[in-house]
């Protein structure tokens, strides 16, 4: 008489499969977390650059007084950013170089250099 063995996996095979699955899951979670952090950083840099461009247009249109050494905090897109403005004279009497830096906390996120008409 033959003994009929039950078909299936041994406990060791199941434990190895669960261990491999656990390792792959941890790797996936770490990669996902890094991707989310990178997306948040890119979003913050993009918003900061938009703010720098918007501020340059407003300075050029004389909507905002931003003398050399201007340093202020503004809210933009539901976030707090700091803005610093530096004005550098050029050889052309009617133009000045304006450097606008934007950041959050202690980190600079965007830097925009443009030339604006002095309006002489």
Sequence spans of domains, the chain: 11-117
Is domain 11-117 annotated with CATH 3.30.1300.30?
A: yes
Structural element, H or E, at residue 42: helix 11-60
Tens place of pLDDT per residue across the chain (120 aa): 566 666 777 888 899 999 999 999 999 999 999 999 999 999 999 999 999 999 999 988 888 888 889 999 999 888 899 999 999 999 988 899 999 999 998 899 999 999 998 766
Long-range contacts of 69-76 (CB under 8 A, 24+ apart): 76/47, 76/50, 76/51
d(CA 84, CA 18): 54
d(CA 69, CA 109): 18
């Amino acid at each position: 008489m033959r003994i009929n063995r039950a078909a299936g996996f041994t406990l060791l095979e199941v434990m190895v499969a669960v261990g491999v699955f656990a390792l792959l899951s941890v790797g996936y979670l770490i990669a996902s977390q890094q991707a989310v952090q990178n997306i948040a950083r890119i979003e913050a840099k993009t918003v900061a650059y938009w703010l720098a461009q918007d501020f340059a247009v407003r300075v050029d249109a004389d909507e905002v007084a931003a003398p050399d050494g201007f340093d202020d905090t503004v809210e933009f897109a539901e976030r707090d950013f700091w803005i610093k403005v530096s004005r550098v004279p050029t050889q052309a009497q009617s133009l000045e170089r304006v450097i606008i830096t934007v950041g959050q906390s202690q980190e600079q996120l965007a830097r925009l250099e443009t030339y604006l008409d002095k309006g002489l």
